Structure 1
């Protein structure tokens, strides 16, 4: 089964403390997710994030079809990174690393998502025209929302790239 990787970076004009507070709070995912996705947290988003935390969402990624998504926060290093992994949802594998690094004038935020699609060859066939463009749209939306809230440090401060292996 083919493995894919999405890597995005963004330089934001925000302090490390403020960035960590916003990005590590699951409730803020709704703010940076397109409205049409119908993103709702069902459970698990109360209090400070912790390793082992299970968060349940409902999302509507394609054609109005509601999908349950369950993630676990598997690793946290305060004000440095955290990892969420899908336990139940639309992917065969979803491993999302969120890194935050202090740089001059703000932070560098890096997302690395390693994922596999279900349905074998069918999943691979729909990746280029359904999954990849949808992920590009969602992560581009997130970047634009964060830019609107906090401001970017420079032009072309956001990157998004896909790889497969």
Structure 2
């Protein structure tokens, strides 16, 4: 299993950052490079506890779908999404938020595992972990820019 731990410091209040992080429309803007589109479940606005979203995007040259569900939410300090259907063997993304003065510390903890046994583990180690880190970093840049306006 691969694990990514990414921290982003944002000069904005925690509620704004929390809401932007679960905004489907902003997520689609931040993932324009992969053409990510919400096609089922919650397809716009802010996702809530118990809701699902199905994404369609082009990753690594292939169109893929990924359905996740919000399984945990404590406003405005955290929420977790877990894959229900998709290419991964497992996928869990924790979104954590803390206030530090006038800043919000946004932390992503993404745990995922590819199928295909040892080949999947090697693919994770040599390529996919970096790809997913860059994907999250780009998403977080858009959240930061939007929150700091």
TM-score when normalising by structure 1? 0.81
**Could you give the per-residue CA deviations for residues 50-101 of structure 1, whole angstroms, max 9, x where no partner exists?**
32211111011111x1101100010110101000000011210001000111
Tell me which residue corresponds to 2:145: 148
Structure with more contact order per residue of length (Cα contacts < 8 Å, sep ≥ 6): 1
Measured at CA, do residues 118 and 138 of structure 1 come closer, stay the same or move farther in structure 2, by a change above 3 Å? Answer: same
TM-score when normalising by structure 2? 0.89
For residues 22 and 143 of structure 1, the distance between their equivalents in structure 2, rounded to whole angstroms, comes to 10
1:42 to 2:39 alignment: yes
Alignment of 1:59-138 (within 5 A): 59-63=57-61, 65-138=62-135
For residues 84 and 120 of structure 1, the distance between their equivalents in structure 2, rounded to whole angstroms, comes to 24
For residues 125 and 19 of structure 2, the distance between their equivalents in structure 1, rounded to whole angstroms, comes to 34
Gaps of 5+ in 2: none
For residues 8 and 77 of structure 2, the distance between their equivalents in structure 1, rounded to whole angstroms, comes to 15
1:58 to 2:72 alignment: no
Q: How many residues align?
A: 147
Instruction: Give 1:48 deviation, angstroms.
Output: 4.7
Q: Give the number of the structure whose alpha-carbon radius of gyration is greater.
A: 1
- In structure 2, which of residues 5, 23, 26 is the aligned counterpart of residue 25 of structure 1? 23
Higher fraction of helix: 2
2:98–2:104 Cα contact (<8 Å) kept: yes
